[in-house]
């Protein structure tokens, strides 16, 4: 009997190992090369004037490589800086990044040629990051402008359609596709709504999830299904009024028209605060909350917003514009300190309009009314933010510009190695944070 049990145990162990081997992938994904960069401060942070030393390691097929590394040390997202070379011995070298005399980040950009192949990597470290302040100034009539728009929105009837989306039903939630009009011009947004099954009327918090940047379908409506599994109403939205049931080809054609460089939606109407594309998007957040708070399942108390990148920006905007928002989670927010590039040596935020030649005195005035740092100053509900240092889409400089102006209760999860992504574990922690901070 013992032998049979042992054989069964070994068989199960063998199968598990085989499955793990089939599922596992190297880090980074399917690359022959692995860079390891280790700053001599474990949190990757320094005071201005302190020298930053980084140990650089390079492996190919897991084997330490000898050779020469060329490098450039630049300010976050900016060109220039100083260059140098380091020699790898037993796969290791130490690079002196120098320092900054003002608050901000330096980026160490690395290149090596190994066996005829070129491989690159980078790592960013920060200096006196708690003193990073935004370049963007708040107009004196910032809240007056938005309050006028909100007052006008109140006079617009709440108009929507809601249809079952059974293809996304789960054992714990019913799914619906919602089309919601956001202004008198008939502009709308679509979203997938998930309502927990077996709920008690008036028992569910609502969670609004605005999307990341781009013109795209709602690709993974069930990615965050654990919100509904935990008793929350979840509303996953897009912002362009595009029915997610469109074909991929149709979405691609529209995306090519609305999401290309200086013709992209984030640049449309940029010369007027009244005509800028994002005005109806920001107001659409409030209209989405209008809709969610009419649902009979809503508990009457809790309204959370949660998103990443552009979705992180929109979450912060919603928290500032709508006092019904009780909790806000934002990953590496975009649309933050966008005009900062106008000052020499300053790092600005996504969508990096200086690359398209669109930053000037006039567009700066428009952006002041839409920049996330100015909304962040007016948030009163608790905020949870997360960001990484190696992010070249929404750079850490601008995340700190937002973080440092928040005057509300706030908590952070900083993941230095992350580029423009969050792990599934981090996403779940957002849900847990929301659940643990609900108004009872």
Q: Which residues are catalytic, by number?
A: 309, 391, 420
Nearest CA to 56 out of 97, 115, 13 is that of: 97
3-state class of 263 per DSSP?
helix
Neighbour tally for 277: CB within 10 Å: 17
Q: Quick check: 226 and 182 in contact, CB under 8 A? A: no
Question: 303 is written with which tokens?
Answer: 């309204």
3-state class of 417 per DSSP?
coil
Where are any strands of DSSP class E within 309-382? 327-331
Cβ partners under 8 Å of residue 305, min gap 6 = 207, 208, 209, 210, 285, 314, 315, 318, 319, 325, 327, 328, 329
Q: Which residues are paired to 411 by β-bridges?
A: 384
**Is the backbone peptide bond immediately before 351 cis, with ω within 30 degrees of 0?**
yes
Cβ partners under 8 Å of residue 154, min gap 6 = none
Cβ partners under 8 Å of residue 104, min gap 6 = 75, 76, 126, 127, 129, 132, 347, 397
Neighbour tally for 156: CB within 10 Å: 15
Helix axes 310-321, 278-292, angle to 10 degrees: 60
Where are any strands of DSSP class E within 141-228? 160-164, 173-181, 188-196, 204-209
Question: 193 is written with which tokens?
Answer: 């709504």
Question: Strand 233-237 relative to strand 204-209: parallel, antiparallel, unpaired?
Answer: parallel
Cβ partners under 8 Å of residue 118, min gap 6 = 111, 112
Q: Quick check: 309 and 295 in contact, CB under 8 A? A: no
Q: Quick check: 414 and 386 in contact, CB under 8 A? A: yes
Terminal-to-terminal C-alpha distance of the chain: 55
């Amino acid at each position: 009997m013992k032998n049979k049990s042992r054989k069964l145990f070994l068989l199960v162990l063998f199968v598990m190992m085989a499955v793990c081997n089939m599922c596992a992938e190297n880090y980074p994904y399917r690359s022959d090369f692995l860079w390891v960069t280790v700053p001599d401060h474990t949190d990757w942070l320094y005071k201005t004037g302190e020298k930053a030393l980084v140990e650089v390691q390079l492996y190919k097929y897991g084997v330490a490589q000898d050779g020469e590394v060329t490098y450039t040390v630049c300010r976050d997202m900016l060109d220039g800086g100083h260059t140098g070379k380091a020699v790898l011995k037993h796969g290791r070298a130490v690079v002196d990044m120098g320092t900054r005399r003002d608050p901000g980040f330096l980026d160490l950009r690395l290149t090596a040629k190994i066996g005829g192949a070129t491989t690159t990597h980078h790592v960013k470290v920060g200096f006196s990051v708690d003193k990073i302040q935004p370049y963007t100034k708040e107009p004196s009539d910032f809240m007056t402008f938005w309050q006028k728009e909100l007052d006008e929105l109140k006079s617009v009837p709440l108009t929507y359609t809601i249809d079952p989306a059974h293809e996304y039903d789960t054992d714990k939630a019913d799914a619906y596709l919602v089309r919601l009009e956001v202004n008198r011009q008939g502009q709308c947004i679509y979203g997938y709504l998930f309502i927990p099954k077996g709920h008690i009327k008036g028992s569910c918090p609502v969670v609004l999830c605005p999307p990341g940047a781009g013109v795209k379908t709602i690709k993974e409506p069930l990615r965050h299904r654990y919100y509904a599994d935990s008793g929350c109403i979840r509303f996953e939205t897009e912002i362009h009024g595009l029915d997610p049931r469109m074909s991929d080809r149709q979405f691609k054609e529209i995306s090519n028209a609305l999401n290309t460089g200086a013709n992209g939606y984030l640049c449309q109407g940029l010369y007027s605060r009244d005509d800028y594309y994002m005005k109806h998007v920001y107001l659409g957040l409030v209209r989405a909350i209008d809709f969610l708070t009419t649902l009979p399942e809503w508990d009457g108390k809790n309204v959370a917003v949660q998103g990443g990148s552009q979705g992180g920006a929109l979450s912060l905007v919603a928290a500032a514009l709508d006092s019904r928002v009780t909790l806000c989670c934002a990953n590496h927010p975009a649309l933050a300190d966008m005009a900062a590039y106008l000052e020499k040596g300053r790092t600005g935020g996504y969508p990096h309009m200086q690359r398209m030649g669109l930053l000037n005195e006039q567009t700066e005035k428009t952006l002041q009314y839409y920049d996330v740092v100015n909304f962040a100053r007016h948030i009163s509900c608790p905020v949870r933010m997360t960001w990484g240092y190696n992010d070249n889409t929404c750079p850490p400089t601008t995340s700190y510009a937002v973080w440092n102006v928040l005057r509300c209760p706030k908590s952070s999860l900083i993941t230095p190695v992350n580029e423009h992504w969050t792990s599934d574990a981090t996403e779940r922690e957002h849900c847990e944070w929301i659940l643990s901070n609900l108004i009872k």
